[in-house]
Structure 1
Amino acid sequence: MHRRHGLSVRRKLTLSYAGFLMVAGVLLLAAVWVFLLRSYPSGMLIRSVLLRGFGPAVGAILAFLLVFGLLGGWILAGRMLAPLAQITNATRMATNGSLSHRIRLPGHKDEFRDLADAFDTMIARLEAHVAEQQRFAANASHELRTPLSVSKSLLDVARADPNRATDPLIDRLHTVNTRAIDLTEALLLLSRAGQRSFTREHVDLSLMAEEATETLLPLAEKRGVILETDGEIAPTIGSPTLLLQLTTNLVQNAIVHNLPGRGTVWVHTDVCPKTAVLTVENTGEQLTPQLVATLTEPFQRGTERIHADQAGAGLGLAIVKTITDAHDGTLTLTPRSAGGLRITVELPAPAPHTDR
């Protein structure tokens, strides 16, 4: 929800403290003035002297109370709201996908501690639920790999048997089984990437791009798609295996969802002050922003863009998004005005070395 900027809670509390202190000071000085008037009920000279001496003192006292109220209110409000800042930071981390962080607010029990404890409990349950789902996906993938592999071996033997009659059913079963194996491997990779349980190393995205394009060059030639790779060295920190999978998925997606026989794929790497950037762009059919917004969801495919020989499992860009999130990066999908798609991955660049 978009909201207009207003005064912060700290400023509001500061003004409230200062205002309350000023009102209390005015009431106190008024009471003193009434007391002095009652003490000297007569004598205009005495009242005139009191007024001349009391007026400047009142102004000085009120100025002091204003400064003291603003300064003291600012400090007190900051101390009071410090736990709320911790809770806000933890909430933002959880929103960005980091469910392992806990507030663990110290101190005696109060409203802020109750809120922090409730938040920690909620995040702990959410983390356990997510971990359970990831373990289920990983275990299911492992359980499916063995029977699918056995089926594939049996189908390979049947297809290679020289005495068998030509049977289109066997070929179809082999295709379906291969798709099932690809889907299982993709689910397993999706689960592993989501758990962020990988060793981070220095990785150059330009090398990942070169390796991916070399691997997929036969597929591009088969489809008549031109591959163009260029760019600068783009260092980042992460898993070489996962980042190579990310790059391969992007390039394969750009080749498959292209114009057969006359398509082009551009793979470009760049480096910015704080990020390493990988961009994969391809020609293709016109895509709407509404369709592009759904392409990173699991099992979502662009309508009329899938070809039978390389349909995939519908998890290519979902895996790319998961790997990008696991590396604290950002993924941007933009439809090209001339048709096709432009995908940009931005990953944090390694911190520069400083000589001591």
Structure 2
Amino acid sequence: MSRTRRPGPSVRLRLTLSYAGFLLLAGALLLAVVWLFLLRYVPDRAVTVPVDGGRFSPYLFIPGRSDLWEAFWPKAALVLGFLLVCGLGGGWLLAGRMLAPLGRITEATRRAAAGSLTHRIGLRGRDDEFRELADAFDGMLARLDAHVAEQQRFAANASHELRTPLTITQTLLELARKDPTRDTTRLIESLYAVNTRAIDLIEALLVLSRADRRSFAREDVDLSLLAEEATETLLPLAEARSIVLETSGDLAVVRGEPALLLQLTTNLTHNAIVHNLPQGGRVRVTTRREAAAAVLRVENTGALLHPDLVATLAEPFQRGSARTHVEPAQAGRQGAHAGAGLGLAIARSIAEAHDGSLTLVAQPGGGLQVTVHLPVAPGQDA
């Protein structure tokens, strides 16, 4: 809630008055010093003294302090008036020149408040406080612009993904209504698969939102134990796909939320199993300590991946292959592990929420290597 404030003098006017006041004060002090210096050599009253015995200039007139004051103060007033005029004029020009960058920053702020996040100040010149402020503001605008673009892209993708199951459900129901003799069992299986996909997608969105908010308690968690738990849970899926699943590693204790870190490990392992070779594939999950970081690495075999594709895999709703629309006839054949395109995005968000990082590297022989670096728990430094 904004408060109504009374209008006040501008910063430029205040700076101008400050410059003029300082210059006027300095001039007054200088004149006061001159006056005090002159008083040392001036008698209280005017006197006349003989010079050269009175032959050429019989008397010399020496003015007193009152005479000196009458001659001094008009000149001092003129000097102070001149300094005041110079201070006001020069101060106004100097203040305007110094505050010009602030005007550009204010204009950029107004544009940002109006929704224009693409505008940049781009302040040039030497490094000073205004340049530092402008660069910091430009960096903030760039991050906000990227964040808003990512959120808009995420909302569009989420809407598309959530609409797909509903569209499939509606199509299946229309087919069943037009064909009363249709196999009810197959219809129920298809609807069940589509509904499961929608539920998984919504749960994934909730996990992603929770990780982004960082609203969780932290405790010491051993990544090696989470890796073992994730591989044990996904072992039946790996065996069903004829994939060899291996896990090994050293003690790697981090500070975080156990459920989210288990979700991270499970998502990476699940992704490595699903996106693998049709037969004879391998998945290797390892943990280790590396300096002041705990490292979780998941490697798998698979198709050769282009670096440009790898760079986008951790974005929401991105998959290793092109997105395809699911036909109604295929809905019943969708497995529970089809994925919603959020596995790596959730893993990256969880890693960043724990002050860590997630990197993706394409394997030379095919497949993907995913590495997560997380800060070790306090007291666990080597």
Bin of the TM-score, shorter chain as denominator length: 0.5 to 0.7
Preserved CA contact (<8 Å) 2:253 2:380:
no
SS in 1 for 2:291: coil
Residue in 2 aligned with 1:67? Answer: none
> Residue 197 of structure 1: which of 198, 203, 215 is its match?
215
Q: For this pair of structures, how many residues does the alignment match?
A: 221
SS in 2 for 1:279: strand
Residue in 2 aligned with 1:185? Answer: 203
Mapped to 2, the partners of 1:111 and 1:283 lie a distance apart of: 53
CA 1:353 to 1:176, structure 2 compared with 1: closer, same or farther past 3 Å?
Answer: closer
Mapped to 1, the partners of 2:304 and 2:323 lie a distance apart of: 10
Mapped to 2, the partners of 1:227 and 1:274 lie a distance apart of: 28
> Residue 273 of structure 1: which of 260, 273, 291 is its match?
291
Q: Deviations over 1:272-302 (max 9, x none)?
A: 1210000000011111111110000100011
Residue in 1 aligned with 2:248? Answer: 230
Mapped to 1, the partners of 2:349 and 2:340 lie a distance apart of: 15
Mapped to 2, the partners of 1:321 and 1:353 lie a distance apart of: 24
User: How far is the alpha carbon of 1:175 from its aligned partner?
Assistant: 1.0
Residue in 2 aligned with 1:258? Answer: 276
Mapped to 1, the partners of 2:349 and 2:196 lie a distance apart of: 23
Residue in 2 aligned with 1:284? Answer: 302
User: How far is the alpha carbon of 1:200 from its aligned partner?
Assistant: 1.1
The structure whose residues are more often helix, as a share, is 1
Work out the percentage of aligned pairs sharing the same amino acid: 65
Structural mapping, 1:312-323, within 5 Å: 312-323=339-350
Preserved CA contact (<8 Å) 2:193 2:334:
no
SS in 2 for 1:194: helix
Letter of the structure 1 residue corresponding to residue 257 of structure 2: S
Mapped to 2, the partners of 1:353 and 1:333 lie a distance apart of: 27
User: How far is the alpha carbon of 1:311 from its aligned partner?
Assistant: 1.6
Letter of the structure 2 residue corresponding to residue 317 of structure 1: L
Structural mapping, 1:85-164, within 5 Å: 115=133
Mapped to 1, the partners of 2:374 and 2:207 lie a distance apart of: 19
Preserved CA contact (<8 Å) 1:203 1:238:
yes
Mapped to 1, the partners of 2:211 and 2:144 lie a distance apart of: 18
Letter of the structure 1 residue corresponding to residue 378 of structure 2: A
Q: Deviations over 1:147-178 (max 9, x none)?
A: x9xx9xxx9xxxxxxxx954422222211111
Mapped to 1, the partners of 2:274 and 2:339 lie a distance apart of: 9
> Residue 246 of structure 1: which of 248, 256, 264 is its match?
264
Structural mapping, 1:4-83, within 5 Å: none
CA-based RMSD of the aligned residues comes to 3.7
Mapped to 2, the partners of 1:335 and 1:115 lie a distance apart of: 40
**Radius of gyration: which is bigger?**
2
Structure 2 residue 315 is the aligned partner of structure 1 residue 297:
yes
Letter of the structure 2 residue corresponding to residue 283 of structure 1: T
User: How far is the alpha carbon of 1:305 from its aligned partner?
Assistant: 9.9
SS in 2 for 1:174: helix
Preserved CA contact (<8 Å) 1:257 1:305:
no
CA 1:114 to 1:270, structure 2 compared with 1: closer, same or farther past 3 Å?
Answer: closer
Residue in 2 aligned with 1:339? Answer: 366
Mapped to 1, the partners of 2:232 and 2:379 lie a distance apart of: 31
Structure 2 residue 376 is the aligned partner of structure 1 residue 352:
no
> TM-score, normalization: structure 1?
0.54
Mapped to 2, the partners of 1:248 and 1:257 lie a distance apart of: 14
Letter of the structure 2 residue corresponding to residue 348 of structure 1: P
Residue in 2 aligned with 1:327? Answer: 354
Mapped to 2, the partners of 1:111 and 1:336 lie a distance apart of: 47
SS in 2 for 1:346: strand
Preserved CA contact (<8 Å) 1:296 1:321:
yes
Residue in 1 aligned with 2:51? Answer: none
Mapped to 1, the partners of 2:240 and 2:259 lie a distance apart of: 26
Letter of the structure 2 residue corresponding to residue 331 of structure 1: L
